Structure 1
Amino acid sequence: MQASRGPGSLETWLATHEQTLKWIALLLGLGSTIAIVQDWQPWPMILGLPFCVIWIACGWLHGERQLKWINVVFTALYVYGIVRWTILSG
């Protein structure tokens, strides 16, 4: 049996779990900041990437274009940084 996936099911899920996602983003942001201060590379990028993805989803959910696009740019930078770190350290 296949689960039903009607239009808007992602939006419904995001709306239902928005507060939990924001708490997770807060913890990721704190972890990323601690990793920056402690110079624990590449953890700031690894923790910062899902932080940005959560805020993209929240920005998309509420139609906040600026919030969404700022985090899209940071997501691209984090992906670039993680790939670069992987190549240079490998």
Structure 2
Amino acid sequence: MISETAEKYLKQFALLLGMLSALAVIFDWYPYTMLISLPFCLIWIYCAWLHTEPQLKWINIIFALLYAYGIVRYYWF
């Protein structure tokens, strides 16, 4: 478990990553959209595990796997 203060900072950092990811989509900064979105999802997976929010957790796991696949595919091929 982490403190409420640490969780608050994690969520603020996730918000910043979410805004950067949206900008990356708007300005077509591929592959930065995936590189920025993956840590965003990982933070929310962790925060969902803290509070046992199963829907939020599984949605972010699916997106994290898709982003990870996209990143590997981008650098592998």
Question: What TM-score range do you get, normalising by the shorter chain?
Answer: over 0.9
Q: CA RMSD in A?
A: 1.1
Question: Within 5 A, what are the aligned runs for 1:7-18?
Answer: 11=1, 13=2, 15-18=4-7
The percent of aligned pairs where both chains have the same amino acid is 53
Is 1:84 aligned with 2:73?
yes
**Among 1, 8, 20, which residue is 1:31 paired with?**
20
Gaps of 5+ in 1: 1-10
Structure 1 residue ranges (4+ consecutive) displaced by more than 6 angstroms after TM superposition: none
TM-score by length of 2: 0.93
Paired letter, 1:75: A
Gaps of 5+ in 2: none
RCO comparison, higher one (Cα < 8 Å, 6+): 2
Partner of 1:39: helix, strand, or coil?
coil
